[in-house]
Structure formats: structure tokens, C-alpha cells
Amino acid sequence: MSDKGYVLSNADEGERRRLEAIEAAYDPRTTARLSRLGVVPGARVLLLGAGGGSVARWAAEEVGADGRVVATDVDPRFLEPLADKYPQLDVVRNDAVNEELPAGPYDVAHARLLLGHLPQREQVLRKMVEGLVPGGAVLVEDFDWGSYGPALPNEAAEKAIGAVSDFLRAVGFDTAFGRRLPTLMRSIGLRDVDAEGIVLSLRGATFPLEPMYRQTFDRLLPTLIEQGHMTAGEAEALHARFDDPEHDMLTQTLMSVWGHRPSSENDH
């Protein structure tokens, strides 16, 4: 999870708006699933790549004074102010690829929109599972890009999305990671693996996830043009789509996939 390994590092202030957009769109589903998996009073929770801190704040309030929440990130500046408010919340600067995760044990571990960026995604998932108590739950949420595109045929948008996808795959991002997650979780021995996916409809100039897409695109744009994935004119055409209220798109599918560490060696 080093800045070098993570395709979209949070080294600029625009990241704050990007994270807030993700939180507004996906937090209700994330927190509802975490509640069902065991984020309850007294629970011990690991939040990997906790970003803007909204889920960390929610989890700290849910587990209460008798619980523990450990929130990690390579750049925890958005998380650190929360630690002063919640004694049960530990904020840890951590590179999940090159360092051990903060010691558990944990009842629940969670990562959202992180592992798909990492070539070492399976290694990091195994670390998350190893930190769980027997019977503990892991929830990983990541995109599958199969649904992403304009609602109606649009050559400029389709070409731009293809260029971004090709570039991300070239640097180790798995655009199909969401759909692979259930199989991966079963392959490393998790039980009761299940999944659900959510696709949102976006309307240019109005949709709440606009900051996420604009910030992501703007950060990648210089490299995309330099490497010949698209021209400046094509990039300009895509920018116009962000501001066009008549331009409808579908998001990537956010796959939420969960499973449990076996309670014993014979529990598979």
C-alpha cells in the first residue's frame, strides 16, 4: 500500500473531495454489512486503508469504550484528528504490502477500494485473515469495471474509459478484481463466502460521485497523454461529459465480498 504501489495516492488535497464522494455513495451499504458481520459493542476491528475516516468514526462509535478499532493508511492525516476524540480508535501509518499489519486479534477486518490497486492483493488479503480470531469475518469491497460506461453509445467516453482501463492494468491494477474476490476468498480457506454488488447511475453535472471520477481522471491525464493512450482533444471531450447534465453513465460494480476464518482446522 505504498504510494509507489497504490495507483492513486492521496498526496494532494483534492483527495479529500474524492474520499468524501466515495463515503457519501457507499458508506450506508458498507456500515450495514459490517454491522451484520460483527461490528458491535466490544468488537475489535481492523480497517485497512481507512482513507477519509468516515467508516473509522462509525466503527469507533459502534464498538464503544470496551471495543477497539485500528484504522490504517499510508497517509493517515485525515484519520489522525479522530484519534483524539475516540480513545478506542488507534490510527496507524502502515504499508500493508511491505509491513506487517497492526497486531490483533480482530473480530472483523475490512478494506474498501484498496486491494484492487495492489499487485500483491492476495498477500494482503491473507494478512487480514491471519489477524482474525477463529470465526472472525473479513469484508473486502472493490470495483469490477464490467458495468462501467455511458448509458448510450458514446465514442469519446468509451475510448477514454478504455484508455484508463488499459493504463491501470498495465501498472498492476485488476479491473476485474471484484468478480474474482469470491473465488479468491474460498481458495485461501474462508468459509461462508458470499457477495453482493451495486451499480449506480450517474448523471453529468449532478451525480455525487463526480469528484471521484474527476479527481481520478485529472491525476491520470498527464500520463495518459504522454504515453499515447489518448490525445488532449479526447481528454477535453471527456471533461465536457462531466459537466453535461444530459450525459448518463453507469458506475463500476462495487462488489462487497465477505467470509469467515474457520473456527477450527476442520471447519471448512
| Angle, CA 49 vertex, CA 45 and CA 54 arms, to 5° | 70
Q: b/e for 206-229, b at 16 or more Cβ within 10 A?
A: ebebbbbbbbbbebbbeebeeeeb
Q: 265 vs 10, which has greater pLDDT?
A: 265
For residue 177, what is its C-alpha cell? 478484481
Mean pLDDT of 239-254: 83
Q: How many CA atoms lie within 13 A of 220 on its CB side?
A: 25
Sign of CA dihedral 83, 39, 208, 215: positive
Give pLDDT, residue 135: 98
Lowest-pLDDT range of 97-106, 114-123, 166-175, 204-213: 204-213
Does residue 10 carry a pLDDT above 60?
no
Q: 20 vs 268, which has greater pLDDT?
A: 20
**Per-domain boundaries in the chain:** 14-260
Highest mean pLDDT: which range of 136-145, 160-169, 237-246: 136-145
pLDDT tens-digit profile of 60-93? 999 999 999 999 999 999 999 999 999 999 999 9
Could you tell me the pTM of the whole model? 0.88
Cβ(47)–Cβ(89) below 8 Å = no
**Mean pLDDT of all residues in the chain?**
89
Give pLDDT, residue 203: 79
Pick the CATH number of 14-260 from 3.90.25.10, 3.30.750.24, 3.40.640.10, 3.40.50.150: 3.40.50.150
Lowest-pLDDT range of 20-24, 35-39, 134-138, 200-204: 200-204
Percent of the chain with pLDDT over 70: 93
CA–CA gap between residue 1 and residue 214 (Å, rounded): 22
Backbone angles phi, psi at 87, to 5 degrees: -60, -25
Does residue 14 carry a pLDDT above 80?
no
Mean pLDDT of 136-165: 87
Confidence of residue 218 (pLDDT cuts 50, 70, 90): confident
Does residue 242 carry a pLDDT above 80?
no
